[in-house]
Structure 1
Amino acid sequence: MIRLRLYTTLGCHLCEQQESLLAVLLCGEYHLEKIEISEDEALMERYGVRIPVLADEAGEELDRGFEPPLLAAWLAERGWLDEAAWQSLRRQMGGEAGPREVKSAVMRGGRRYLG
């Protein structure tokens, strides 16, 4: 069984988006431990502006896993990607376009602004 940790906080819509993507893209059984960062000062310091952060058992972390291409690549590196689900999701997203190529979105200073 794949064991993952998700550093999150209550009401984080990006965390919810990452959980949904994970359920679609991860092949096999997994256990997701949600770690509430607001209850620990050290976790707030480390993850406060980075959540959601997904970590595997080795402690390797993924920031911005709510972006499908990033999550898919991270899962593929570990042999955990459901390739058929990823191909289906890519078709739904409009082919090869990643989140930074979405029409009516503008990248400024590393952030995406919807127009």
Structure 2
Amino acid sequence: MTQLPPVTLYGTLACHLCEAAMQILQPLIADGLRVSEVDISDSDELMQRYQLRIPVLQRQDSGAELDFPFDLAQVMDWLGDVLSEGR
């Protein structure tokens, strides 16, 4: 498989939707997707930007964002340009 771009998952510690998002990402993590989790409660700027949107995935290569709810197929489409290069 082609190298997947690292992503950031913005959320908070007690966010059940954030836990659900990580579960959705597990098959891609098993294939090499690197996910950095960022707790937005540590930053006023991130709280202002994301508090009503979390969980949010952000590609570290392009800055593109994907808001929850999403499923595995939607994440794969979002990463599609990278995945299609490996086919």
TM-score normalised according to structure 2 size: 0.75
Cα distance in structure 2, aligned partners of 1:45 and 1:10 = 17
Give the strand-richer structure, 1 or 2.
1
Across the two proteins, how many residue pairs are aligned to each other? 80
In the TM superposition, structure 1's runs of 4+ consecutive aligned residues that sit over 4 Å from their partners are none
Greater relative contact order, per chain length (Cα 8 Å cut-off, separation 6+): 2
Q: Which of 61, 67, 75 does residue 65 from structure 2 map onto?
A: 61
Q: Which runs of 5+ in 2 are unaligned?
A: none
Matched, 1:73 2:63: no
**Matched letter for residue 48 of structure 1:** Q
- Residues 3 and 56, structure 1, Cα contact 8 Å, conserved in 2: yes
TM-score normalised according to structure 1 size: 0.59
Please, what is the CA RMSD of the aligned residues?
2.2
Q: Which runs of 5+ in 1 are unaligned?
A: 81-115
Per-residue displacement from partner, 1:33-59 (whole Å, max 9, x unpaired)?
111101111100100000000011211
